[in-house]
Amino acid sequence: MSDSIIAFSLEVSTRLDALTQWAAGGGLDEAAGALADSLNNGGVIQAFGTGHSEAFAMEIAGRAGGLIPTSKIALRDLVLHGMREVSALDSLEGSVLERETGIAQELFELSLVDPRDIFLIASNSGVNGSIVGLALIAKARGHKVIAVTSLEHTNAVETKHPSGMRLSEIADIVIDNRAPYGDTTLEVSGGGGVGAVSSITAAYIAQLLTIETVQCLVRAGKKPPIYISANIPGGDEHNTALVGQYAGRLRREA
């Protein structure tokens, strides 16, 4: 094992330990309470992230051990459910797309959003046009917004949205993913960096949020609507029955 692997393991574990201590001290209480309140009122958690932050939305919506009333908003919705051409999702074009301010309105209108829903938006930089735009629209429509972002990174860069705002400045609740500026944790001889951590810490935050939201529901005397693995006996039947209670409100395309 190289020294770099050991160093990266320490970078990851240090951040996860910090998140654990923060959560254990009540850091997640406000966010989990807001998510549970929305679910108790018949709402759905609308998860959104672009680029690598889409992995966060996938951790929230539609996975074993996760909450069933969750829906994933993705840039590909513009093609699958809108009028955009498939070429818009090419790697280069997709990078441009996530920075495009105008697509936020398109995304919102294509999404299965109910007034009772709450938005959970992840973006390491927190400054791209689609991210900031969707957060602004959600807030304007009366939805609560929870952000997962790198405060170190977002505070060091300029926003790409004409409002001049960052995701962290719009959201009702902000969760710091503890990623450093630029995301990487190890310098490479000759320049550059490796060992990005935002996907790892965001996935951990997603699971902590799920766990704490479920505990809020249990304390309120509710039976949490949780997915079980489709790869165990009875899994499909269990999930299908609960998903049916939210017919027409959930979207999970890969």
Q: What is the pLDDT of residue 98?
A: 82
DSSP-based three-state secondary structure for 150: coil
d(CA 195, CA 189): 14
d(CA 165, CA 172): 14
Q: What are the structural domains of the chain?
A: 3-246 (3.40.50.10490)
d(CA 119, CA 106): 16
What are the Cα distances from residue 211, in Å, to 21, 57, 90, 98? 15, 15, 35, 30
d(CA 102, CA 58): 24
199 phi, psi to nearest 5 deg:
-65, -35
pLDDT (tens place) for every residue of the chain, 254 residues total: 689 999 999 999 999 999 999 999 999 999 999 999 999 999 999 999 999 999 999 999 989 999 999 999 999 898 889 888 887 777 544 467 788 878 899 999 999 999 999 999 999 999 999 999 999 999 999 999 999 999 999 999 999 999 999 999 999 999 999 999 999 999 998 889 999 999 999 999 999 999 999 999 999 999 999 999 989 999 899 989 989 899 889 987 65
- What's the predicted TM-score (pTM) here? 0.93
- On whether the CB atoms of residues 145 and 116 are closer than 8 A, the answer is no
